[in-house]
Amino acid sequence: MQQGKHTVTDDFIPLHNGLGKEFKTVTAMIDIYCRAHHRTSTTCTECESLKHYANVRLDRCPYGESKPTCNRCPIHCYKQKEKAMMKAIMRFSGPRMLLHHPLLAIRHLIHERRKEVPAKPPKHRSNRYIRLQQQD
C-alpha cells in the first residue's frame, strides 16, 4: 500500500523490546541530524523516508531480538545511499545522543560492547516473520 507523501509520520511497522528501542534510537538520531542540517521545523521528507527505510530493515532483520548493533553486524542490509546517509547521521548524532537521550545512548553503548555476534542469524526470528505468523 503506497502512502501519500505527507502521511509518513506515524505509520511505522510496530517493533517491540530491543528492536523497538533500537528504532527509537535511530529515529532520535535522524531527528537530531535533520534539525541541525536541513533546518525544517519538522523532520524533512528525505529524513522521514529514511526512518521508514530503517523501520523496514529492522522489521526484516534476521537476528530479530538478538540483533547486534548495526556497526557490528555481519550482514550489510542497507543499500549504498541509505548506508551513506545513516553513517553521516550516526557520526553526527551519536555523541549528541548522550545529551538529548542519555538512557537510549547508554543502552546502545552497552549493547555495542556485548561480545558475541553469531555469524549466522537464527531461523525465523525476524520481527516480520513473527508478525506475519501472528496474523490469522
Answer yes or no whether residue 36 interacts with Zn ion by CB under 5 A.
no
Answer yes or no whether residue 8 interacts with Zn ion by CB under 5 A.
no
The region of 6-14, 18-26, 35-43, 51-59 touching Zn ion under the rule CB under 5 A is: 35-43
| Size of the residue set binding Zn ion (CB under 5 A) | 4
- Considering beta carbons, is residue 38 or 72 the nearer one to Zn ion? 38
CA distances from 79 to 31, 84, 95 (A): 21, 9, 24
- Considering beta carbons, is residue 13 or 44 the nearer one to Zn ion? 44
Dihedral (CA of 65, 71, 72, 75) sign: positive
Q: Out of 8, 13, 28, 44, which residue is the one contacting Zn ion (CB under 5 A)?
A: 44
Using CA atoms, how far apart are residues 6 and 24, in angstroms rounded to an integer? 21
Least distance to Zn ion, CB of residue 42, Å: 9
Using CA atoms, how far apart are residues 132 and 46, in angstroms rounded to an integer? 28
* HSE-up (13 A, CA, CB side) for residue 37: 14
For Zn ion, the binding residues (CB under 5 A) are: 34, 38, 44, 47
